[in-house]
């Protein structure tokens, strides 16, 4: 397994990480046994970075990962955990809490559910508009001092917030959406992170399956993607037409669409680690194949020509969720 360092302050991790949200939440029914098999297969393949959130399935995802890690070498795994999103009993989202007391409370529950004594990278999932980022990061810094957290990360925040946070404590990485079809961070956020020595863990590298090469119809009603503008009506048709252009390039390389899309993100810099949201072993194995795809400058140019930066139809989240993204301001 190729390894990459998450910024100057972060750990050495596998070049691909496993994002586990879909095993517990938002994409419809999932298979617990298959989820655990997928986590085990990832670990056996050399994947060391496992990403979750304490609000994925209202704690279910952390308990699932904790179960999968039993009997495994804890020091061989880097656990990345997002916190702060509030949920209601119906599964809806009810805001965000970044207060220092809440930060420490969230971590206490996370350690219990995962069955571990520390978290490798702990990060607020969103910016709390009512709490200065300095206060939230300061609370995590206290947890670093106490030994419960090894590194601090950020998620979906803009350059001003990144710089303010980095003045409080070194930041290992920024977790943010980045893909062939989602390239907004290239303007300002990515240069800011590179200036400060902060790594990128890129989620949505297949745009929630949109550019994975396997989607042929709209998502089911119980799949949260059915509410995403990119997956609706004419937008979906236009976006899937772009995917067919990628397929032509992939066929020429003897690779799948998903593999070249992941390989493109890998090729954008050694400071970027794509998170793969595989829910099954076959999808995981396909994603891992991206590590064997060699993209020449000509291939990279062809990919960005086939899927121009602003070609996507529809925003990456519905309007109400876009409003919560400091990274989009």
Give catalytic residues, as residue numbers.
56
* CB 178 within 8 Å of CB 187: no
Diameter of the chain measured on Cα atoms: 54
Q: Is 30 left (phi over 0), alpha (psi -120 to 50) or beta?
A: beta
Q: Which of 166, 175, 183, 165 is nearest to 199 (CA)?
A: 175
3-state secondary structure of 5: strand
Number of Cβ within 10 Å of residue 40's Cβ equals: 14
Distance CA 317, CA 224 (A): 10
* CB 38 within 8 Å of CB 284: yes
Distance CA 146, CA 169 (A): 14
Environment class of residue 321 by beta-carbon count within 10 Å: exposed (0-12), middle (13-18) or buried (19+)?
middle
Environment class of residue 89 by beta-carbon count within 10 Å: exposed (0-12), middle (13-18) or buried (19+)?
exposed
* CB 235 within 8 Å of CB 241: no
């Amino acid at each position: 397994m190729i390894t990459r360092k998450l910024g100057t302050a972060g750990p050495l991790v596998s070049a691909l990480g496993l994002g586990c949200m879909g095993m517990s939440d938002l994409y419809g029914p999932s298979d617990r046994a298959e989820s655990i098999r997928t986590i085990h297969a990832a670990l056996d393949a050399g994947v060391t970075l496992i990403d979750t959130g304490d609000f994925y399935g209202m704690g279910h995802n952390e308990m699932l990962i904790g179960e999968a890690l039993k009997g495994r070498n804890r020091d061989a795994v880097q656990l990345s955990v997002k916190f702060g999103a509030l949920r209601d009993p119906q599964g809806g989202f009810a805001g965000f809490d970044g207060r220092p007391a809440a930060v420490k409370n969230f971590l206490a529950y996370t350690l219990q559910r995962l069955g571990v004594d520390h978290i490798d990278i702990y990060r607020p999932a969103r910016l709390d508009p009512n709490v200065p980022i300095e206060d939230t990061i300061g609370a995590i810094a206290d947890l670093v001092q106490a030994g419960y957290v090894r590194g601090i990360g950020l998620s979906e925040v803009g350059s001003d917030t990144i710089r303010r946070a980095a003045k409080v404590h070194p930041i290992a990485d920024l977790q943010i959406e980045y893909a062939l079809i989602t390239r907004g961070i290239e303007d300002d956020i990515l240069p800011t992170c590179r200036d400060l020595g902060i790594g990128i863990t890129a989620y949505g590298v297949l745009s929630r399956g949109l550019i994975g090469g396997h989607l042929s119809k709209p998502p089911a009603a119980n799949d949260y993607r059915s509410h995403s503008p990119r997956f609706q009506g004419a937008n979906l048709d236009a976006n899937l037409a772009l995917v067919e252009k990628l397929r032509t390039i992939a066929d020429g390389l003897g690779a799948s669409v998903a593999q070249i899309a992941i390989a493109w993100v890998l090729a954008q810099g050694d400071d970027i680690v794509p998170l793969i949201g595989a829910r099954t072993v076959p999808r995981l194995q396909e994603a891992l194949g991206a590590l064997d795809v060699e993209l020449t400058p000509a291939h990279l140019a062809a990919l960005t020509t086939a899927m121009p930066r602003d070609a996507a139809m529809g925003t990456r989240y519905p309007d109400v969720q876009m409003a919560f993204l400091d990274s989009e301001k």
